[in-house]
Amino acid sequence: KMVLAPVIFPNEIHSLPYSMFFSLLLILQIQVIENDKASRGGQIYATNIRGQVPPLVTTDCVIQDQGNASPRYIRCTAYCFPSSSDMAKQAQIPLAAIIKPFAAVPPNETPLYVVNHGETGPIRCNRCKAYMCPFMQFIEGGRKYQCGFCNCINDVPPFFFQHLDHIGRRTDHYERPELSLGSYEYVATLDYCRNNKPPNSPAYIFMIDVSYSNIKSGLVKLICNELKTVLDNLPREEQEETSAIRVGFVTYNKVLHFFNVKSNLAQPQMMVVSDVGEVFVPLLDGFLVNFQESRSVVNNLLDQIPEMFADTNESETVFAPVIQAGMEALKAAECAGKLFIFHSSLPTAEAPGKLKNRDDKKLINTDKEKILFQPQTNIYESLARDCVANGCCVNLFLFPNQYVDVASMGLVTMYTGGTLYKYNNFQVHSDGPQFLSDLRKEIGKKTGFDAIMRVRTSTGFRATDFFGAIYMNNTTDVEMAAVDCDKAITVEFKHDDKLNEDSGALIQCAVLYTSISGQRRLRIHNIGLNCSSQLADLYKSCETDALINFFAKSAFKAILSQPLKTIREILVSQTARMLACYRKNCASPSAVSQLILPDAMKVLPVYINCLLKSCVLVGRPEIPTDERAYHRQLVMSMDVADTQLFFYPQLLPISDAFPTAVRCSEERLSEGGVFFLANGLNMFLWLGVSTPPELIQGIFNVPSFAHISTETLLPEVDNPYSKKLRSIMDYIQSNRPYSMKLLIAKQREQAEMLFRQYLVEDKGLYGGASYVDFLCCVHKEICQLLS
């Protein structure tokens, strides 16, 4: 075993004794987060300085847009780009931006201003078509402006003319959002609309699998009951009383049932379409309705659906025709929209998109493993293309009891900007609340429909690769049937030339979309980054959380084409090379055996190790293939905060008076403690064997450890312990896209194994190095690179 060298950070120049090594590790990840919270939390962060590194995603602060997009919308892996591609190659640091164009902003921050230039539409550079933004330089007394992106000199349209003040700034600078803000919206003109026609308001179609298992589990009843109330909360524009979104209903098993719920009907009408080979929409009028107007008919229908199929023994289902039908319905209604599909089983009925169980554990850790992540048939891919072309976003709620081939079934969801939810072995009483919470959140989400995103950059570099729940027909247009407040697109940039250090690296992301009220709009996010020829500047401006987001997405995308082993090796070697470059060029000279990490990348190794240990990249027969495909798909659309928590869960000792996060390691657990862990998908409550009875009484309302049933839901008990735990849970849950189901893991019981997977600093249950082992390995590589 190699001798570990002390880890040295640049600001802790003095050598540390070996014995201190572990204590340093102890504080590592947690300490970085806590330090940032302490120094920047609760403050106002203004975006007025180009290339300024924002607070960490884990730090709460108020963000003020002063010319650059808020980090809620855009986060970058580095805020100071290397000025040349040689330098970028040397550093090996990925240059990427994680863009969440529809990010939710807290109520104490200003929502986006909407600019309306009437029939002329947004002002754009004649050459590169970039939109008017703070990066445009006005010259010749305000009659012309120079585009910050392509340097083209454009005339200022007469209606937009304004005099310049003594520093060359327009006198209306602060009155116009497009001159002073990083993010704002334009009202689009008819030129930006499909067929030059103003869009209709979007529609939501609920498509419920009513085959035997869903009826038997009570799921159909649960959904129908919930829809009766949840539809009152369809998203609407701030100023509107009711939502403009129309709703429609379909049930299906081997055949599809459409419902006419027109408000003037005495009772709903059901239309059965059995021609699943060539599915079509059997009705024109009355399928998509305003819920408020048709409430009684819709409620009548929702009451009847569970009863109607109560005696069903149909266990076969179709799937692709369901999506097809939903898309055709939206197409016929000439609107964009979302499908909400509630499905439980592998679609084995004779129809297009029929799937067979092809889960083959023998492929794991072979070159053919990638097949497991690819769809079984290419029908889903062409279906996805059609869906995107028609602005049809597919949200899929899966309730599998066995293998359902998530890789195939989730594909359309993935490409159309939809969300995939999966509830294994769904039980109404234990999983119902989690599902309903997800459903409510999904229905209420602020969303842009039928969207197309374009990322423009200033000269010298350009966007080369895009990762996310997106579809791309060409290399520049990012198409999204819908993009909601949780979806992030990771964009990778590459140099094509030298960057100018004075003008910096400018990025403009424009999203053309249809709003929930059916208005066509453009959402513009601008951010300016610095450029430098000094590697030190680059390393100083890096953001590890964003880097992990990028690494995760690019690795998860690569598994479709490369063997996992190669991907893992690339991740390790790139980490080592990034660190070695720093060591070689930026750190003060020290012994080769010392591991020196840049300040901004202190936690990179631990995160990379977590990523390497994720079930997607660790192929083991014990891990269900569906679970890996599911995680892969979720990560692809995650933003920086989500990936941060997903790869390094938060572990809180609840038993402490003031719980602060601790490292995810077994050694932090104590027999007398209660620990809470969350990763954005799951929550655990770990109970040590000698947890004080009053704590158990307080939380579970049972007298002792032995009385705690892991099956039950957490009771609401009126005492400080319970309240504290629940408020912590609520807080963690509050900004997360997925509802987390709480699992109770009692020490030394079966469920603890599941919990232990999430102690990411330890040696993995299914393989994967402990943090210390990984650090050694990286260090070894760095040493090799340096020598």
Partner 1 sequence: MATFLEFIQQNEDRDGVRFSWNVWPSSRLEATRMVVPVASLFTPLKERPDLPPIQYEPVLCSRTTCRAVLNPLCQVDYRAKLWACNFCYQRNQFPPTYAGISEMNQPAELLPQFSSIEYVVQRGPQMPLIFLYVVDTCMEDEDLQALKESMQMSLSLLPPTALVGLITFGRMVQVHELGCEGISKSYVFRGTKDLSAKQLQVIDKKTIKKPSNPENDWKGERYASRPCQPIEQETVCRKIDMNLTDLLGELQRDPWPVPQGKRPLRSSGVASFYSYFLCVLQCTFPNTGAHILMFIGGPGTQGPGMVVGDELKLPIRSWHDIEKDNANYVKKATKHFEALANRAATTGHVIDIYACALDQTGLLEMKCCPNYTGGYMVMGDSFNTSLFKQTFQRVFTKDMQGQFKMGFGGTLEIKTSREIKISGAIGPCVSLNSKGPCVSENEIGTGGTCQWKICGLNPNTTLALYFEVVNQHNAPIPQGGRGAIQFVTQYQHSSGQRRIRVTTVARNWADAQTQIQNIAASFDQEAAAILMARLAVYRAETEEGPDVLRWLDRQLIRLCQKFGEYHKDDPGSFRFSETFSLYPQFMFHLRRSPFLQVFNNSPDESSYYRHHFMRQDLTQSLIMIQPILYAYSFSGPPEPVLLDSSSILPDRILLMDTFFQILIYHGEPQWRKSGYQDMPEYENFRHLLQAPIDDAQEILHSRFPMPRYIDTEHGGSQARFLLSKVNPSQTHNNMYAWGQVSIQNIVLQVFMDHLKKLAVSSAA
- Distance of closest approach, residue 734 Cβ to partner 1, in angstroms: 40
CB closer to partner 1 out of 305 and 782: 305
DSSP category for residue 247: E
Shorter beta-carbon distance to partner 1: residue 300 or 562: 300
CA atoms within 13 A on the CB side of 563: 9
Q: DSSP H helical segments within 651-760, as ranges?
A: 693-700, 720-734, 751-756
- Minimum CB distance to partner 1, residue 283 (Å): 7
Nearer to partner 1, 311 or 716 (CB): 311
Joined tokens for residue 619: 């192929």
Is the CB of 33 or the CB of 224 nearer to partner 1?
224
Strand partners, 596: 8
Supply the minimum distance, in Å, between the C-beta of residue 299 and partner 1: 12
3-class SS at 458? coil
**Nearer residue to partner 1 within complex by CB, 251 or 508:** 251
Q: 287 vs 399, which CB is nearer to partner 1?
A: 287
Measured from the CB atom, the residue of 72 and 246 that comes closer to partner 1 is: 246
CA–CA dist 82, 91 (Å, integer): 9
Helix axis angle, 320-332 to 379-389, nearest 10°: 20
**C-alpha–C-alpha distance, residues 373 and 378, integer Å:** 13
Provide the CA 448 distance to its chain's centre, in angstroms: 15
Between 301 and 394, CB nearer to partner 1: 301
CB 102 within 8 A of CB 487: yes
CB of 334 to partner 1, least distance (A): 12
Tell me which residue of 610, 740, 727 sits closest to 683, measured CA to CA: 740
Q: How far is the CB of 506 from partner 1 (least distance, A)?
A: 49
Q: DSSP assignment, residue 54?
A: P
- What is the residue type of 87? M
CB of 318 to partner 1, least distance (A): 13
Give CB contacts under 8 A, 24+ apart, made by 174-180.
Answer: 176/115, 177/112, 177/113, 177/115, 178/115, 178/122, 178/123, 178/131, 178/132, 178/133, 178/134, 178/524, 179/132, 179/133, 179/134, 179/136, 180/66, 180/67, 180/134
> Which residue in this structure is represented by tokens 């010319």?
67
Least distance CB 257 / partner 1 (angstroms): 8
Longest dimension (CA), the chain: 85
Residues that bind partner 1 (CB under 8 A): 255, 258, 265-275, 278, 280, 282-285, 300-301, 304, 307-309, 311
Closest to partner 1 by CB, 328 vs 359, is 328
Name 395's bridge partners.
340
Smallest distance from partner 1 to CB 300, Å: 7
Q: How far is the CB of 324 from partner 1 (least distance, A)?
A: 14
What minimum distance in Å lies between the beta carbon of 259 and partner 1?
8
Q: In this structure, are residues 344 and 214 in contact, taking their beta carbons and an 8 Å threshold?
A: yes
Which residue, 257 or 441, has its beta carbon nearer to partner 1?
257
Question: Residues of 605-627 as b/e, b for ≥16 C-beta within 10 angstroms?
Answer: bbbbbbbbbbbbbbbeeebbbbe
Cα torsion 118, 120, 122, 123: sign: negative
Closest separation between CB of residue 306 and partner 1, Å? 11
For residue 114 the two structure tokens come to 């909407």
For partner 1, give the closer residue by CB, 85 or 300. Answer: 300
In angstroms, the Cα distances linking 529 to 61, 80, 457, 583 are 21, 6, 11, 24
- The secondary structure element, H or E, covering residue 396 is strand 392-398
Residue type present at position 388: V
How long is the chain? 787
In the three-class reduction of DSSP (H, G, I as helix; E, B as strand; rest coil), residue 502 is classed as: coil
> 301 with 249: CB under 8 angstroms?
yes
Beta carbon of residue 211, minimum distance to partner 1 (angstroms, whole number): 15
Residue 280 CB, nearest approach to partner 1 (Å): 6
**Nearer to partner 1 among residue 272 and residue 753 (C-beta):** 272
- Assess contact for 244 and 455: CB atoms under 8 A: no
- 529 within 8 A of 50, measured Cβ to Cβ: yes
The enclosing H or E element of 461 equals strand 461-467
Query: Least Å distance between CB 266 and partner 1?
Result: 7
Q: Which is nearer to partner 1, 309 or 539 (CB)?
A: 309
Adjacent-strand bridge partners of 394 = 339
DSSP state of 277: G
In one letter, which amino acid is 606? V
Tokens describing residue 48 = 């007025």
Residue position matching structure tokens 């905060």: 641
Helix axes 20-40, 771-786, angle to 10 degrees: 100
| C-alpha distances out from residue 253 to 318, 320, 325, 471, Å | 6, 12, 13, 29
Residue 396 CB, shortest distance to partner 1, in Å, is 25
Nearer to partner 1, 151 or 300 (CB): 300
- DSSP-derived pairing of the beta strands 96-99 and 80-82: unpaired
| C-beta separation of 580 from 782 below 8 A | yes
Please, which residue, 258 or 684, has the CB nearer to partner 1? 258
User: 48 CB contacts (<8 Å, ≥6 apart)?
Assistant: 66, 67, 68
Q: Which is nearer to partner 1, 81 or 258 (CB)?
A: 258
644, 413, 245, 107: CA torsion to nearest 10: 0
Please return the burial class of 53, using the count of CB atoms within 10 Å of its CB with bins 0-12, 13-18 and 19+: middle
Least gap, CB of 213 to partner 1 (angstroms): 19
Nearer to partner 1, 186 or 309 (CB): 309
What spatial distance separates the first Cα and last Cα of the chain, rounded to whole Å? 20
Query: What's the closest the beta carbon of residue 486 comes to partner 1, in angstroms?
Result: 36
Nearer to partner 1 (CB atom), residue 13 or residue 272: 272
CB of 278 to partner 1, least distance (A): 7
